[in-house]
Structure 1
Amino acid sequence: MNNDILKIKEYYDTDVLEYDYAELILRGISEENAQFLTQIGVPEQYDDFFFYRLDQFHDKDVTGEQYIQIGHFASYGMRDACGLYLKPESDILYMNSSLAKSAVYALNKNIETFFLFHLIRSELSTKMRSEGTYTQAHYASELRRCFEQIDPVAMQNVEGYWSHLLEELRNRLVAHYMKQKTYQIRPL
């Protein structure tokens, strides 16, 4: 499957935020992430992810390490938002753990891969449905395979966003299977 990252813009519901490459570099954003932010761009909101303008970026100390907060994740029902972070001069995109707000984990190896994962989710589902091969189990399995090929670190944290997404697909499949299964109760 050919995943052209430029296609991700088709899924943005809003205009992309404008960033200046030189200012991002001065702020400590890695060259790779600065290139993505200026050439492709990110929307202010994408699903439950919110990205900040450059003047809203702020430094944050998390367990003694310095990060640059570039946005947050706030899913329906969450009491507190989880931060989206970059380490100065590092490509890795980090996120707070939903279980321990004081802990962070590697969400993706860079910002581009984060959006590539979202693109793959959509494109793979569309492809499988058009071919008539879509089942929730097959889709979840193929997503995991693609994600692990592209960014294995993103899949290592079992409490991470992507692992939870795949677990949710699996749980919906199990719940659906359990509804379909009938049980016979034998008298004692």
Structure 2
Amino acid sequence: MSRILVVCTGNICRSPLIERVLQGALDQAYGPGAVEVSSAGTMGMVDSPMDERSAAILTEMGGDPAGFAARRLTEALLRDTELVVTATREHRAAVVRMHPKALRTAFTVRELGHLADQMDPAALPTEPGERLRAVAAQGVALRGTNALLDPADLDVADPYRRSDETYALMRSQLEPTLESILGVLVPR
């Protein structure tokens, strides 16, 4: 099975939303079980359900928060993962410190979205695992092309215990980004 791991801080707001959106689209494209999308937090609030406001946004986006339980990031979760998607540059750094080989597979979600916009989806393999590995490899090769981006444009706002406006900002950052990422992860 091919794997994607999504990482944020508490694993209750950003990463489960990203996880569930990606999982739904990949299940629809490849069938359930072809790609496993999971998530974890660098300071995961173990066994907590998804944050209510993030869950409401996920539901509006067509996802289902039911049955979600937060967990903490471990090195074992990073092994045998084709792609690691993080909420911020700080999370990406934590992933690479924990598992240095992840340098070739870890991207912030917005970084990957920018890089995906530069990829040719038609040139990618159609088998899910090969496609994930190709997206990661092309992402690494294209990484230097993001040099003109403001580093803050690579992070997703953390809405936890913040205003409704911060949740709206998170959503506005994620929706186009996830569309770009799914544009390369899902064959058309």
Give the alignment's TM-score, normalised by structure 2.
Answer: 0.26
As a proportion of its length, which structure holds more strand?
A: 1
Decide which structure has the larger Cα Rg and report it: 1
User: Relative contact order (alpha carbons < 8 A, sep ≥ 6): 1 or 2 greater?
Assistant: 2
As a proportion of its length, which structure holds more helix?
A: 2
